[in-house]
Amino acid sequence: MSQDPATTDRAIVAAVNKPYYQIVREMLADNIASGNLPAGTLLLASVVADRLQVSRPPVKRALELLIGDGIISEGPERGYVVGQAGSFKKIIRTNLHGLALDLPAELAENRGQPSWERIYDETETEVLNCIPFGTFQISESMMGEHFVVSRTVVREVLLRLDARHLITKDRSSHWLAGPFSARMLDEAHAVRRLMEPCALEDCAPRLQPGLLEEMRGRLGTARRTDAAPSPNQLDGLETDLHVTLLQPLRNRRLAEIVRLSQISLVINRLFARHIGVHDETDLLNEHRLVLDHLELKDVAGATAALRRHLDLDHQRARARLKVLSIVDAPSVPPYLSRVH
Amino acid sequence: MAGKQPKLRVVGRREVLPKPILEQAARDLGFELEFELLDTVKSLRRIVMQPESFDVYHQWHTVDLIWTARAIRPIDLGRIDEASRIRAAVSTRRDGGKAIGSLFEQLFLQPDGTLSSVPSDKLIMLPLLHGVDAFAYLPEVPQLYPPGTQASWGWLLDPRLHGRVAMMSDPVLGMIEAALAVEAAETVVFDDIANLSIEEIDLVADVLMHKKKIGHFRAIWSNYQEAARWMQRGGVLLQSMFSPALSLLRSQNVPVISGVPKEGYRGWHVDLCISSAAEGDRLEAAYAYLNWWMNGLGGAMVARQGYYFVLPDLVRPHLSEAEWAYWYEGRRAEVDLPDLYGEVSIRAGDLREGGSYYERMSRVRVWNTFMDEHAYLVRRWREFLEA
């Protein structure tokens, strides 16, 4: 059983809601760059998926994207090979299971779970990434095909999404996801402004040495540049404050509540990617205030600053949701079909 | 001027940019103008996603949204002719009967990037036109009610008009009108009719869908020409109505009456915004276009279809005495008055329903707005359209 604190971490980390294919894509690119996966290594989607304990579709998508990035190429017979065609002498067939890979936290703890759990996070992320753009119907059968799981597993996932108020059944018993309403943001915020400062208070005395300094460094870099931060930079800063800082949290129940209340992170991330990052001075200043208080070991100050940041950011997320609601969803998984 | 002038790309709704206006502006400005008539949410999507595809946008209750997306740039008030009059209007018309509600509350850009009524040197939009809308009906309708009954939004849902009512398909304005109708007909009171909650949207949508299924609505129209056709020969007795459709019907001798609802009007305003991507010559041309509107001629032209200009004094020299008296002062037309295209649309002796400019504007119950639950509203509205 995976009842260790790692489960909690996984739950919190998933709140950043980066799509799985993106996580896999970055992880493979990193391991290729670091030499863990040398040029010529054969990558089969099924084997990579098995090694990472994720389903196949995101791995396939990640591999396709990496071809576009010019980092891997199509294999001579099947699969993909690290490096551009001609840049390696022969195909290396490595047992990926025997290979030490640097896995991001999202994937590192992805083992020993029942099958519904393995696809739950991915489904939740994909649903959350679509519903700010409208209303979608979920096809159980397509979902089963997509994840290569049985109807029972699909239903288990859907019922859990339903329990978390992320999807509903309409009058004709179809599963509907969305739209992401202003009320969802309001309700999540009302919980979050109470719970996240509690979580921070709990974690503050147990932060890893040097962590704050690193975070302040990243924030300082962003504040010193005249240009607005890149979407990735922004993701990093938000993850620092709202995910990484809370990793020492031992109360799993609190961790789950905090994670579920962080849905505005999705809105901010989608807005940054599809509409653009504009002036983020306010956000950067709010972040700094929290970190400064932590640095001075003023926990009460830090929690007050965090609450203030959450309140202000809530207003920004509300305005951004309005913009997203008129835009088309950039990418929709095959088991979701737009109804409105 | 030496060098090639760029073509200025202007986007707006068809009601606001009728052909005579476009032609007049192009003649006066001396550079090429390209007008694109767009009036759906799809077009709003383009404004937000591709600011480089336009230079000037005649915005319509979406300024907060397009500013959040930074699709528009602040307007330097110092470069606007009549800036002092605009400042004065803001300070005198923020409240009371002369208020132009939602317009001035989000006009000025503040140093922190928010919009408010506190004066600054930057406008987020140049206020241009406003007015009030309601429903309109044929003379048979008042005969269904005891003499002296004041018109009500509830009439849109009244069983006495079963099968003879039309509504508009636009979700944003349509939902506001439907909410006004439900409030009047079902004796419910919404907390904030300009920002309905999910339950309130559900209530309105359920009433509409029931009415639609029993055949209450004859038609749901998507533009004012279509609306006019339904009343002219489609059997519609009462319907939502934009004022250009009133002008059109009157020029065709249809005896249409514009409702003065006891619950108040739905107010609207249309303003000018400059694209965040406009630079150099295009930006210069955009300011020239904005200032063209400030000469009052365009405002006078659209007065003939019932619209009010933000600075009425500037419009007056371009209207005849009789036109000013009818459109702005709410007095009887002394002579036949033309519409925007030169056709007679107001007969001598006609009186504008609702009265003078200030009388009409002070009876705004709700301003057009993009509600917080817009996405949910659209979902339920689509169910109504498809029911």
What is the sign of the dihedral through the CA atoms of A110, A114, A117 and A119? positive
Residues B204, B255 share a domain: yes
> Which pLDDT score is estimated for B98?
63
The number of folded domains in chain B is: 2
Whether B375 sits inside 8 A of A275 (CB atoms) is no
pLDDT for position B327: 97
User: Which of B379, B382, B383, B385 is the best mutation test for A, with the most CBs of A within 10 A?
Assistant: B379
Residue A7 has a pLDDT of 40
**Contact residues, chain A, for B373 at CB < 8 Å:** 181-183
B303 C-beta neighbours (distance < 10 Å), count: 26
CA distance B339 to B321: 15
My answer on whether B239 and B224 are in the same domain is: yes
Q: For residues B210 and B201, what is the distance between their CA atoms, to the nearest angstrom? A: 14
On whether any CB of chain B is under 8 Å from the CB of A36, the answer is: no
Are A326 and B48 inside 8 Å of each other by CB? yes
Q: Tell me whether the omega of the peptide bond preceding residue A330 falls within 30 degrees of 0, making it cis.
A: no
B292 burial type by CB count under 10 A (0-12 exposed, 13-18 middle, 19+ buried): middle
Within a domain: B120: yes
- Is the minimum CB–CB distance between A135 and chain B shorter than 8 Å? yes
DSSP, res B23:
H
Indicate if B112 and B148 belong to the same structural domain: no
| Residue A244 per-residue DSSP state | G
Tens place of pLDDT per residue across chain B (387 aa): 444 667 999 999 888 889 999 999 999 998 999 999 886 777 889 999 999 999 999 998 899 999 999 999 999 999 999 999 998 888 887 666 566 766 888 899 999 899 998 999 999 999 999 999 999 999 999 999 999 999 999 999 999 999 999 999 999 999 999 999 999 999 899 999 999 999 999 999 999 999 999 999 999 999 899 999 999 988 999 999 998 899 899 999 999 999 999 999 999 999 999 999 999 999 999 999 999 999 999 999 999 999 999 999 999 999 999 999 999 999 999 999 999 999 999 999 999 999 999 999 999 999 999 999 998 998 899 899 998
C-alpha to C-alpha distance for A316 and A335, rounded to whole angstroms: 31
| Candidates A181, A185, A267, A285, partner chain B, best to mutate (most B CBs within 10 A) | A181
Q: How far apart are CA B327 and CA B349, in angstroms?
A: 13
Are B141 and B282 members of one domain? no
Cα–Cα distance, A142 to A154 (Å, whole number): 10
B281 and B255 housed in the same domain: no
| B98 Cα distance to chain centroid | 17
Do the beta carbons of residue A268 and residue A222 sit within 8 Å?
no
8 A C-beta contact, residue A339 and residue A143: no
**Ranges in chain A annotated CATH 1.20.120.530:** 182-324
Does any CB of chain B come closer than 8 Å to the CB of residue A312? no
**Rounded Cα distance, B310 and B299, in Å:** 8
Residues of A in contact with B70 (CB under 8 A): 276, 278
CA distance A209 to chain B (A): 36
- Kindly write down the DSSP assignment for every residue of B316-346, as one continuous string: GGGS-HHHHHHHTT-PPPSS-EE-TTS-EEE
A228 touches chain B (CB under 8 A): no
Which residues of chain B have a CB within 8 Å of the CB of A134? 375, 378-379
CA distances from B117 to A113, A266, B45, B268 (A): 56, 32, 27, 18
Torsional sign, CA B367, B371, B374, B377: negative
Q: Where are the beta strands (DSSP E) in chain B?
A: 8-12, 33-37, 56-60, 72-73, 75-76, 108-109, 115-116, 122-123, 126-137, 165-168, 217-221, 238-241, 257-258, 265-275, 308-309, 337-338, 344-346, 364-367
CATH 3.30.1330.10 for domain A182-324: no
Look up residue A309 and give its two tokens: 């940041």
What CA–CA distance (Å, rounded) separates B85 from B63?
22
The residue in chain A having the minimum alpha-carbon distance to the alpha carbon of residue B199 is A183
Residues 217-276 of B with CB under 8 A from A: none
The verdict on a CB contact (< 8 Å) between B69 and A282 is: no
d(CA B258, CA B136): 4
Q: Is B148 helix (H, G, I), strand (E, B) or coil?
A: coil
Q: Is residue B3 part of a domain?
A: no
B70/A278 CB distance under 8 A: yes
- 10 Å Cβ neighbour count for A111? 11
Mutate to test the interface with B, among A171, A321, A326 (most CBs of B within 10 A): A326
Residues B111 and B240 in one domain: no
8 Å CB contact of B378 and A179: yes
Give the residue from B47, B49, B66 with the most A CB atoms within 10 Å of its CB, the best one to mutate. Answer: B49
Kindly state whether residue B143 falls inside one of the protein's structural domains: yes
Contact check, Cβ <8 Å, A325/B197: no
Q: Is residue B314 part of a domain?
A: no
Closest by Cβ to A275, choosing from B48, B370, B379: B48
Residues B79 and B113 both lie in one domain: yes
Task: Tell me how close the Cα of B263 comes to any Cα of chain A, in angstroms.
Answer: 28
Report ipTM (2 d.p.).
Answer: 0.89
pLDDT of residue A17: 58
Identify the residue among A185, A325, A328, A338 best suited for mutation to test binding to B, counting B beta carbons within 10 A and taking the highest. Answer: A325
Q: Which long-range contacts (CB under 8 A, 24 or more apart) does B335-342 make?
A: B337/B304, B338/B304, B339/B247, B339/B248, B339/B250, B339/B251, B339/B304, B339/B305, B340/B18, B340/B20, B340/B21, B340/B247, B340/B301, B340/B302, B340/B304, B340/B305, B341/B18, B341/B20, B341/B251
Q: Are B160 and B258 in the same domain?
A: yes
Task: For residues B255 and B287, state if they share a domain.
Answer: no
B225 Cα to chain A: minimum distance (Å): 26
Residue of B nearest to A316 (CA): B68
Model pLDDT, residue B13:
87
Q: Are residues B90 and B104 in the same domain?
A: yes
Q: Token digits for B49?
A: 């996603």
B257 inside domain: yes
Which of B45, B113, B378 lies nearest to residue A327, judging by beta carbons? B45
* 10-residue mean pLDDT series, chain A (340 residues): 38 53 87 89 88 82 90 87 84 81 68 70 91 93 88 92 91 90 96 98 95 96 90 94 95 94 94 90 96 97 98 96 88 89
Amino acid of residue B85: R
Q: Verify whether the Cβ–Cβ distance B49 to A275 is below 8 Å.
A: yes
Residue A72's nearest CA partner among A87, A59, A57, A58 is A87
Cβ neighbours for A71, distance < 8 A, ≥ 6 positions apart: A28, A29, A32, A82, A83
Contact predicate A63/A45, CB 8 Å: yes
**B86 and B178 inside one domain:** no
In angstroms, how far is CA B113 from the centroid of its own chain? Answer: 27
CATH assignment at residue B34 = 3.40.190.10
In a 13 Å sphere around the CA of B356, the CA atoms on its Cβ side amount to 9
A179 with B382: Cβ contact below 8 A: no
What does DSSP assign to residue B296? S
Contact A182 B373 (CB under 8 A): yes
| Residue of A281, A285, A313, A322 for testing the chain B interface, max B β-carbons within 10 Å | A322
Instruction: Give the pLDDT confidence score for residue B172 in this predicted structure.
Output: 92
What's the half-sphere exposure (Cβ side, CA atoms, 13 Å) at A323? 27
A35 vs A65: CA distance, rounded Å? 19
Interchain CB distance below 8 Å, B373 and A183:
yes
Query: What pLDDT does A101 receive?
Result: 76
- Measured between CB atoms, does B106 come within 8 Å of chain A? no
Task: Please name the residue of chain A whose CA is at the shortest distance from the CA of residue B385.
Answer: A340
**Are B48 and A327 within 8 A, CB to CB?**
yes
Show the tokens assigned to B3.
């060098």
Q: What pLDDT score was predicted for residue A99?
A: 75
Tell me what pLDDT residue A3 has.
Answer: 38
Structural domain includes residue B245: yes
Which of residues 249 through 278 in chain A touch B, CB cutoff 8 A?
275-276, 278
Interface A:B, Cβ pairs < 8 A: 65
Does B238 reside within a domain? Answer: yes
Q: Is B65 on the interface with A (CB under 8 A)?
A: yes
Q: Which domain holds residue B79?
A: 8-124+268-294
CATH 1.10.10.10 spans which residues of chain A? 5-108, 115-180+327-338
The alpha-carbon radius of gyration of chain A (Å, integer) is: 21
Q: What's the Cα-to-Cα distance from B53 to each of A326, B31, B94, B149, B224, rounded to whole Å?
A: 17, 18, 34, 50, 26
Q: How many residues does chain A have?
A: 340
**Sign of the CA dihedral B245, B247, B249, B255?**
positive
Q: Which of A134, A322, A328 sits opposite B68 (nearest CB)?
A: A322
Q: How far is B369 from chain A (nearest CA, A)?
A: 12
Q: Which chain B residue has its CA at the smallest distance from A184's CA?
A: B373
**Cα three-residue angle B373-B64-B194, rounded to 5 degrees:** 45
Instruction: Tell me: do B60 and B157 sit in the same domain.
Output: no
Q: Does B376 touch chain A (CB under 8 A)?
A: yes
| DSSP class per residue in B31-94 | S-EEEEE--SHHHHHHHHH-GGG-SEEEEES-HHHHHHTT-EE-EEGGGSTTHHHHHHHHHHSS
Which chain B residues touch A282 with a CB distance below 8 Å? 112-113
Q: How much is the pLDDT for A46?
A: 86
A180 touches chain B (CB under 8 A): yes
In a domain, B327, yes or no: no
A137 has a chain B CB within 8 A of its CB: no
Write down the pLDDT at residue A15: 43
Architecture of domain A115-180+327-338 in CATH?
Orthogonal Bundle (1.10)
Contact A328 B45 (CB under 8 A): yes
Cα-to-chain-centroid distance, residue B46 = 20
Q: Between chains, do A282 and B48 touch, taking CB under 8 Å as contact?
A: no
Q: What is the CATH number of domain A5-108?
A: 1.10.10.10
B374 contacts on A by Cβ (under 8 Å): 322, 325-326
Judged by CB atoms within 8 Å, which residues 198-217 of B form the interface with A? 198
